[in-house]
Amino acid sequence: MEEAVQLWGASRVYGSGEGAVRALDNVTVGLGRGTFTAVMGPSGSGKSTLLQCAAGLDRPTEGKVVLANVDLETLNEHKLTLLRRSRVGFVFQSFNLLPALTAEQNVALPLRLARRRVKGDELRAVLHEVGLTDRAKHRPSELSGGQQQRVAIARALVTKPDVVFADEPTGALDTRTSREVLGLLRGIVDRHGQTVVMVTHDPLAAAFADRVIFLADGRVVGDGSAESAQEIARHMAHLEEGEA
């Protein structure tokens, strides 16, 4: 399978000397195109650091990251920003929508930042994909939490990115709305071959993925096909007991 993202011996160290923290420790992993991967682990295990390095938001201290067949180490900050704008989509727990803009305008923002032409039919298509055609002119304050996260997903999809990175995308949502959002992410993988990488602490969320990668102390300690939420929860409990 062709890889959308590859980490080769990636480590990330914060600080120096005795106070140094190794948040990521010699991680080598590939994330296949057209797959849905969940990244899990106890608090402080390196989940968010892995996502940030894989997405080009942070640079590894050692090793390298290849995203969309580009070695990120070869890019300066300007070129890295341009690559993220065109090849990467982001979905966060806090939605990160601009309150003064409508749903449609928020979705169009990545295109405007990339100085690409904004086509009305493209915006309508991506809003239709997330079930918000009738909410295009509404501002975030006029939308529910689940609808705001759908806008955020549409915004992540509008540039047709190689990878969508989602950091706890259901953390601020109730159980029913979480399932709707996860079903939407699952659907864009199955229908359009989108690649999704999701950090989550929720076994129910991870069960929507094809694959679950478990981290502990910055290392990969488990990697395999997604099982039932109950099996994933048991694995997580075992890891957390090891942290105690």
Spell out the domains of the chain, with CATH numbers in brackets. 33-58+84-243 (3.40.50.300)
Looking at residue 17, its pLDDT comes to 87
Q: Are 61 and 12 in contact (CB under 8 A)?
A: yes
Instruction: Evaluate whether 67 touches 5 at the Cβ level (below 8 Å).
Output: yes
Give pLDDT, residue 151: 96
Which is nearest to 106 in space by CA: 86, 144, 135?
A: 135
Q: What was the pLDDT predicted at 77?
A: 95
Which two three-digit tokens encode residue 57? Answer: 């938001």
pLDDT by 10s per residue, the chain, length 244:
799 999 999 999 999 888 899 999 999 999 999 999 999 999 899 999 999 999 999 999 999 999 999 999 999 999 999 999 889 999 998 899 999 999 999 999 999 888 888 888 889 999 999 999 999 999 999 999 999 999 999 999 999 999 999 999 998 899 999 999 999 999 999 999 999 999 999 999 999 999 999 999 999 999 999 889 999 999 999 888 776 4
Q: How many CA atoms lie within 13 A of 115 on its CB side?
A: 1
- C-alpha 136/C-alpha 185 separation (Å) is 20
pLDDT at 226: 82
At 15 the three-state DSSP class reads coil
What is the C-alpha to C-alpha distance for residues 96 and 99, in angstroms, rounded to an integer? 9
pLDDT at site 184: 95
Instruction: Determine the pLDDT at residue 172.
Output: 87
Closest CA relative to residue 84, chosen from 184, 19, 165: 165
CA distance 151 to 137: 12
